[in-house]
Amino acid sequence: MSDFALVVRDLSIVGDSERLLLSLDVLTVSPGETIGIRGPSGAGKSTLLFALAGLVKVKSGSVHWGDCNFASLNEEARSRFRRHHIGMIFQDFLLFEELDALSNAAIATGYIRSISQNDLRKNAADVLEKLKVRDIANRTIASFSGGERQRVAIARALAHDPAIILADEPTASLDRVAADALIDDLVALVRAENKTLIAVSHDGHLHEKMDRVIEIVDGQMVREVSNA
Protein backbone atom coordinates (compact mmCIF):
# COMPACT_ATOMS: atom_id res chain seq x y z
CA MET A 1 0.00 0.00 0.00
CA SER A 2 1.28 3.43 -0.94
CA ASP A 3 0.27 6.82 0.38
CA PHE A 4 0.71 8.47 -2.98
CA ALA A 5 -2.19 9.72 -5.05
CA LEU A 6 -2.15 9.43 -8.82
CA VAL A 7 -2.55 12.90 -10.28
CA VAL A 8 -3.08 13.59 -13.96
CA ARG A 9 -2.85 17.20 -15.16
CA ASP A 10 -3.37 18.75 -18.59
CA LEU A 11 -2.76 15.45 -20.26
CA SER A 12 -2.84 15.55 -24.03
CA ILE A 13 -2.28 12.57 -26.28
CA VAL A 14 -2.36 12.71 -30.05
CA GLY A 15 -2.36 9.95 -32.61
CA ASP A 16 -1.40 9.80 -36.26
CA SER A 17 -1.70 13.10 -38.16
CA GLU A 18 -1.83 14.90 -34.82
CA ARG A 19 -5.41 13.70 -34.24
CA LEU A 20 -6.35 14.35 -30.62
CA LEU A 21 -6.99 11.09 -28.79
CA LEU A 22 -7.27 12.30 -25.23
CA SER A 23 -7.32 15.61 -23.44
CA LEU A 24 -7.71 15.58 -19.69
CA ASP A 25 -7.51 18.65 -17.46
CA VAL A 26 -7.21 16.97 -14.12
CA LEU A 27 -7.83 13.57 -12.58
CA THR A 28 -6.82 12.66 -9.08
CA VAL A 29 -7.03 9.11 -7.82
CA SER A 30 -6.49 8.67 -4.11
CA PRO A 31 -4.52 5.74 -2.76
CA GLY A 32 -6.78 2.70 -2.33
CA GLU A 33 -9.53 4.22 -4.47
CA THR A 34 -11.37 2.22 -7.16
CA ILE A 35 -12.22 4.04 -10.36
CA GLY A 36 -14.29 2.88 -13.31
CA ILE A 37 -13.86 4.45 -16.72
CA ARG A 38 -16.65 4.15 -19.20
CA GLY A 39 -17.59 5.62 -22.54
CA PRO A 40 -18.33 4.61 -26.11
CA SER A 41 -15.86 2.62 -28.15
CA GLY A 42 -13.01 4.76 -29.47
CA ALA A 43 -13.66 7.46 -26.87
CA GLY A 44 -10.15 7.25 -25.44
CA LYS A 45 -10.73 5.06 -22.37
CA SER A 46 -7.98 2.58 -23.14
CA THR A 47 -5.70 5.39 -24.28
CA LEU A 48 -6.06 6.90 -20.81
CA LEU A 49 -5.31 3.56 -19.22
CA PHE A 50 -2.20 3.05 -21.38
CA ALA A 51 -1.14 6.64 -20.66
CA LEU A 52 -1.38 5.92 -16.94
CA ALA A 53 0.79 2.87 -17.55
CA GLY A 54 3.31 4.93 -19.49
CA LEU A 55 2.77 2.89 -22.62
CA VAL A 56 1.76 5.73 -24.95
CA LYS A 57 3.65 8.86 -25.78
CA VAL A 58 2.25 11.93 -24.06
CA LYS A 59 2.23 15.17 -26.03
CA SER A 60 1.89 17.36 -22.98
CA GLY A 61 0.83 17.24 -19.36
CA SER A 62 1.90 15.17 -16.42
CA VAL A 63 1.07 11.94 -14.62
CA HIS A 64 2.37 12.25 -11.08
CA TRP A 65 2.68 9.53 -8.52
CA GLY A 66 4.21 11.15 -5.51
CA ASP A 67 7.13 13.23 -6.73
CA CYS A 68 7.55 11.20 -9.84
CA ASN A 69 6.10 12.46 -13.12
CA PHE A 70 6.49 9.30 -15.05
CA ALA A 71 5.09 10.88 -18.21
CA SER A 72 8.43 12.61 -18.46
CA LEU A 73 10.56 9.51 -17.90
CA ASN A 74 12.36 7.66 -20.62
CA GLU A 75 11.09 4.30 -21.78
CA GLU A 76 13.33 2.19 -19.57
CA ALA A 77 12.44 4.24 -16.48
CA ARG A 78 8.71 3.98 -17.26
CA SER A 79 9.20 0.24 -17.68
CA ARG A 80 10.89 0.12 -14.27
CA PHE A 81 7.99 2.10 -12.79
CA ARG A 82 5.46 -0.39 -14.16
CA ARG A 83 7.58 -3.26 -12.96
CA HIS A 84 7.41 -2.09 -9.35
CA HIS A 85 4.24 -0.09 -8.97
CA ILE A 86 1.69 -1.17 -11.58
CA GLY A 87 -0.20 -4.37 -12.22
CA MET A 88 -2.05 -4.79 -15.50
CA ILE A 89 -5.10 -6.88 -16.42
CA PHE A 90 -6.25 -7.33 -20.01
CA GLN A 91 -9.51 -8.28 -21.65
CA ASP A 92 -8.21 -11.52 -23.16
CA PHE A 93 -5.92 -12.47 -20.31
CA LEU A 94 -2.67 -12.74 -22.35
CA LEU A 95 -1.45 -15.79 -20.47
CA PHE A 96 1.17 -18.29 -21.53
CA GLU A 97 -0.98 -21.30 -22.40
CA GLU A 98 1.92 -23.74 -22.08
CA LEU A 99 2.69 -22.77 -18.48
CA ASP A 100 0.78 -23.66 -15.35
CA ALA A 101 -1.25 -21.10 -13.44
CA LEU A 102 1.38 -20.50 -10.77
CA SER A 103 4.15 -19.94 -13.33
CA ASN A 104 1.92 -17.47 -15.15
CA ALA A 105 1.05 -15.66 -11.94
CA ALA A 106 4.72 -15.57 -10.91
CA ILE A 107 5.98 -14.56 -14.35
CA ALA A 108 7.83 -11.60 -12.86
CA THR A 109 10.32 -14.02 -11.29
CA GLY A 110 12.02 -13.92 -14.68
CA TYR A 111 12.98 -10.27 -14.44
CA ILE A 112 12.23 -8.73 -11.03
CA ARG A 113 15.22 -8.72 -8.74
CA SER A 114 13.95 -6.46 -5.95
CA ILE A 115 11.79 -9.27 -4.56
CA SER A 116 13.18 -12.71 -3.94
CA GLN A 117 12.02 -15.45 -6.29
CA ASN A 118 10.55 -17.39 -3.39
CA ASP A 119 8.63 -14.41 -2.04
CA LEU A 120 7.27 -13.65 -5.47
CA ARG A 121 6.09 -17.21 -6.01
CA LYS A 122 4.61 -17.26 -2.52
CA ASN A 123 2.77 -13.97 -3.20
CA ALA A 124 1.46 -15.41 -6.47
CA ALA A 125 0.27 -18.57 -4.72
CA ASP A 126 -1.40 -16.49 -1.99
CA VAL A 127 -3.28 -14.37 -4.53
CA LEU A 128 -4.37 -17.50 -6.39
CA GLU A 129 -5.63 -18.79 -3.05
CA LYS A 130 -7.58 -15.59 -2.41
CA LEU A 131 -9.01 -15.78 -5.92
CA LYS A 132 -10.08 -19.39 -5.26
CA VAL A 133 -7.94 -21.02 -7.93
CA ARG A 134 -5.08 -22.29 -5.76
CA ASP A 135 -6.18 -25.92 -6.24
CA ILE A 136 -5.60 -25.70 -10.01
CA ALA A 137 -2.40 -23.67 -9.77
CA ASN A 138 -0.26 -26.49 -11.12
CA ARG A 139 -2.41 -27.14 -14.18
CA THR A 140 -1.59 -25.63 -17.54
CA ILE A 141 -3.73 -22.73 -18.65
CA ALA A 142 -4.96 -24.52 -21.77
CA SER A 143 -7.57 -26.40 -19.71
CA PHE A 144 -8.91 -23.31 -17.88
CA SER A 145 -12.27 -21.56 -18.30
CA GLY A 146 -12.36 -17.85 -19.10
CA GLY A 147 -13.12 -16.95 -15.49
CA GLU A 148 -10.22 -19.05 -14.22
CA ARG A 149 -7.87 -17.50 -16.76
CA GLN A 150 -8.78 -13.99 -15.73
CA ARG A 151 -8.21 -14.91 -12.08
CA VAL A 152 -4.74 -16.11 -12.98
CA ALA A 153 -4.20 -12.84 -14.88
CA ILE A 154 -5.28 -10.90 -11.79
CA ALA A 155 -2.89 -12.94 -9.67
CA ARG A 156 -0.11 -12.05 -12.13
CA ALA A 157 -1.01 -8.36 -11.78
CA LEU A 158 -0.90 -8.53 -7.98
CA ALA A 159 1.95 -10.96 -7.33
CA HIS A 160 4.68 -8.30 -7.19
CA ASP A 161 2.54 -6.22 -4.81
CA PRO A 162 2.01 -3.10 -6.94
CA ALA A 163 0.19 -0.03 -5.61
CA ILE A 164 -1.88 0.52 -8.75
CA ILE A 165 -3.94 -1.99 -10.75
CA LEU A 166 -4.92 -1.01 -14.28
CA ALA A 167 -7.57 -3.21 -15.86
CA ASP A 168 -8.63 -3.01 -19.49
CA GLU A 169 -12.10 -4.56 -19.97
CA PRO A 170 -11.44 -7.31 -17.40
CA THR A 171 -14.89 -8.89 -17.78
CA ALA A 172 -15.44 -8.49 -21.52
CA SER A 173 -14.49 -12.08 -22.33
CA LEU A 174 -16.57 -13.63 -19.54
CA ASP A 175 -20.20 -14.65 -19.24
CA ARG A 176 -22.38 -12.76 -16.79
CA VAL A 177 -22.08 -15.20 -13.93
CA ALA A 178 -18.32 -15.50 -14.23
CA ALA A 179 -17.99 -11.73 -14.69
CA ASP A 180 -20.01 -10.93 -11.57
CA ALA A 181 -18.07 -13.42 -9.48
CA LEU A 182 -14.81 -12.02 -10.78
CA ILE A 183 -15.84 -8.42 -10.10
CA ASP A 184 -16.75 -9.28 -6.53
CA ASP A 185 -13.51 -11.09 -5.89
CA LEU A 186 -11.33 -8.49 -7.63
CA VAL A 187 -12.88 -5.55 -5.81
CA ALA A 188 -12.77 -7.36 -2.48
CA LEU A 189 -9.14 -8.22 -3.02
CA VAL A 190 -7.96 -4.73 -4.00
CA ARG A 191 -9.88 -3.24 -1.12
CA ALA A 192 -8.47 -5.76 1.31
CA GLU A 193 -4.98 -4.98 0.10
CA ASN A 194 -5.76 -1.27 -0.15
CA LYS A 195 -4.66 -0.92 -3.74
CA THR A 196 -5.74 1.60 -6.30
CA LEU A 197 -7.84 0.08 -9.10
CA ILE A 198 -8.58 1.83 -12.36
CA ALA A 199 -10.74 -0.27 -14.67
CA VAL A 200 -11.84 0.55 -18.18
CA SER A 201 -15.06 -1.29 -18.91
CA HIS A 202 -18.42 -1.30 -20.61
CA ASP A 203 -19.70 -3.45 -17.80
CA GLY A 204 -22.26 -1.59 -15.66
CA HIS A 205 -21.99 -4.25 -12.93
CA LEU A 206 -18.33 -3.47 -12.53
CA HIS A 207 -18.93 0.27 -12.37
CA GLU A 208 -21.51 -0.24 -9.62
CA LYS A 209 -18.77 -1.67 -7.44
CA MET A 210 -16.32 1.19 -8.01
CA ASP A 211 -15.91 4.15 -5.67
CA ARG A 212 -16.12 6.49 -8.60
CA VAL A 213 -16.90 6.27 -12.30
CA ILE A 214 -15.72 8.72 -14.93
CA GLU A 215 -17.10 8.89 -18.42
CA ILE A 216 -15.01 9.76 -21.42
CA VAL A 217 -16.43 10.83 -24.76
CA ASP A 218 -14.33 11.93 -27.73
CA GLY A 219 -11.21 12.03 -25.61
CA GLN A 220 -12.70 14.34 -22.98
CA MET A 221 -13.87 13.54 -19.46
CA VAL A 222 -17.55 14.50 -19.57
CA ARG A 223 -18.94 13.11 -16.35
CA GLU A 224 -17.91 11.81 -12.98
CA VAL A 225 -20.18 9.79 -10.71
CA SER A 226 -19.41 8.83 -7.15
CA ASN A 227 -20.81 5.58 -5.73
CA ALA A 228 -19.73 6.41 -2.23
Partner 1 sequence: MPDIYYDRLLPLWEALSPDMQDGLLLLFSILPCLMVGFIVTRGLKPFTLVKAMLWQFRWTNLVFVGLIAVSVALGVGLIAQERGLRRGTAKAAEKFDLIIASPGSEISNVMATVYLQASDMPLLDGKLYDEIANHDQVAFAAPIAFGDSFAGHPVIGTTPEFMAHLSGDLGEGKAFASHFEAVIGSNVDLDVGDRFTPAHGVGDSADAGAHDGDVFKVVGRMRKTGSPWDKAILVPVEAVWLVHGLGTGHRQARSGQVGPPFDPELFPGTPAILVHADQLWANYALKSEFSRPNSMAYFPGAVLSQLHGLLGDVRQVMSVMAVITQVLVTAGVLTGLVILTRLFSRRLALLRAVGAPRRFLFAIVWSFAATLIGSGALLGILLGFATTSVISGIVSERTDILVEASLSWPEFHLVALFVSFTILLAMFPAFLALRRPVVADLRT
Q: To the nearest whole angstrom, how small is the minimum distance from the Cβ of residue 60 to partner 1?
A: 19
Of 13, 15, 29, 5, residue with least CA distance to 212? 29
Q: How many residues does the chain have?
A: 228
Q: To the nearest whole angstrom, how small is the minimum distance from the Cβ of residue 56 to partner 1?
A: 6
Q: Should residue 122 be labelled a site residue for partner 1 when binding is judged by CB under 8 A?
A: no
Candidate residues 10, 97, 184, 208; the one interacting with partner 1 per rule CB under 8 A:
97
56 DSSP 8-state letter: S
Q: Should residue 80 be labelled a site residue for partner 1 when binding is judged by CB under 8 A?
A: yes
169 DSSP 8-state letter: S
Rg over alpha carbons for the chain, rounded to the nearest Å, is 17
CA 75 to chain centre: 19
Of 53, 27, 31, 18, residue with least CA distance to 197? 31
Q: To the nearest whole angstrom, how small is the minimum distance from the Cβ of residue 97 to partner 1?
A: 7
Which residue stretch of 30-38, 101-109, 130-138, 191-199 sits at the interface with partner 1 (rule: CB under 8 A)? 101-109
Of 142, 154, 148, residue with least CA distance to 105? 154
Q: Should residue 201 be labelled a site residue for partner 1 when binding is judged by CB under 8 A?
A: no
Mark residues 143-172: x for contact with partner 1 by CB under 8 A, - for none.
-------------xx---------------
Candidate residues 16, 18, 67, 76; the one interacting with partner 1 per rule CB under 8 A:
76
- In whole angstroms, what is the distance from residue 66 CA to residue 35 CA? 19
Are the CB atoms for 144 and 176 separated by under 8 Å?
Answer: no
Mark residues 30-69: x for contact with partner 1 by CB under 8 A, - for none.
--------------------x--x-xx-------------
Candidate residues 17, 19, 113, 177; the one interacting with partner 1 per rule CB under 8 A:
113
**Amino acid making up residue 88:** M
Smaller CB distance to partner 1: residue 19 or 113?
Answer: 113
Q: Should residue 111 be labelled a site residue for partner 1 when binding is judged by CB under 8 A?
A: yes
Q: To the nearest whole angstrom, how small is the minimum distance from the Cβ of residue 59 to partner 1?
A: 15
DSSP string of 186-222, one letter each residue: HHHHHHHTT-EEEEE-S-HHHHHHSSEEEEEETTEEE
Span between the terminal Cα atoms of the chain, in Å:
21
Q: Number of residues in contact with partner 1, rule: CB under 8 A?
A: 31
Residues in contact with partner 1 by CB under 8 A are: 50, 53, 55-56, 75-76, 79-84, 86-88, 90, 94, 96-99, 103, 107-111, 113, 117, 156-157
